[in-house]
Amino acid sequence: MSAASLVTVAVCQFAPTADREDNLLRIAEQTRTAAARGARLIVFPEYASYFVAPFDVTLRENAEELDGPFVQSLRAIAYEHDVTIVAGLVERGGDAALVRNALVAVDATGIRARYRKQHLYDAFGARESEWLSAGDIGAPETFEVGGIRFGLMTCYDLRFPEVGRTLVDAGADALIVPAEWVRGPLKEHHWVTLLEARAIENTAYVIAADHPAPVGVGHSAVIDPQGVRIAGIGSEEGVAIAELDAELIARTREINPVLRVRRYRVVPAE
């Protein structure tokens, strides 16, 4: 391990609410904490801009464009601390009745990557599709920090291995998973197991930020390419810091060459 191969990242676990200004204050506070501890990349949960449970019409009323005030504020916070921030937001959709569940990676220069949730959470009694439209399947967007390439997915996408594999095929060394992983029977078990599985099968880091209890399961974490949790939080709010090592990714892929020897490839739907 050399200092040049390391990138310090943070996962920030907080509970977004219907108070948009307070959400940004919390993001600014946790960014300040993470940056002071050396983080260059800081990851926040899904719906960080605005959240109500259960969903109601205010979700549409508080949706924004990707160049709207929430992202502009993220950019200002990133500039202040010289970091890259990933966070979820409620994006205004093309259909007036539906919004999009979006992620952005932002630094001082603007949006580095954007992603719209592909798999809507129509499971375990929930119907996310009544409020949201799914993102189109297109070319994966990735971005780089300190020589490590990152790819984006959101919450329920975690249950679909092809999402992570498509990102890794596009060059990602680490998968970022902002989430609002709702509590329920075995849901914490599913969350932890799937995070580790996506890391192991892709020989990639996984960086996951969830909402805390009582709505989310919490347990935001950083998982290394062999499936080992190297940093994490319990069910409460907090910030966890980890160092990602590019040399470890290379060593893991050398001893476990699953990306080179697999016989099938993911082909995106046209």
The residues carrying an active-site annotation are: 46, 117, 155
Within 10 Å of residue 109's Cβ, how many Cβ atoms? 10
∠ at Cα 232 (157, 247), nearest 5°?
80
CB 206 within 8 A of CB 223: yes
Please state, in angstroms and as integers, the Cα–Cα distance from residue 5 to each residue in 39, 116, 168, 243, 249, following that order.
14, 30, 19, 10, 10
Please state, in angstroms and as integers, the Cα–Cα distance from residue 8 to each residue in 90, 250, 255, following that order.
28, 17, 24
Which amino acid is residue 194, in one-letter code?
L
Report how far apart the first and last C-alpha atoms of the chain are (Å, whole number): 42
* Sheet architecture: strand order including 205-209: 142-145, 148-152, 174-178, 205-209, 221-223, 229-232
Report the alpha-carbon distance of residue 122 to residue 126 in Å, rounded. Answer: 5
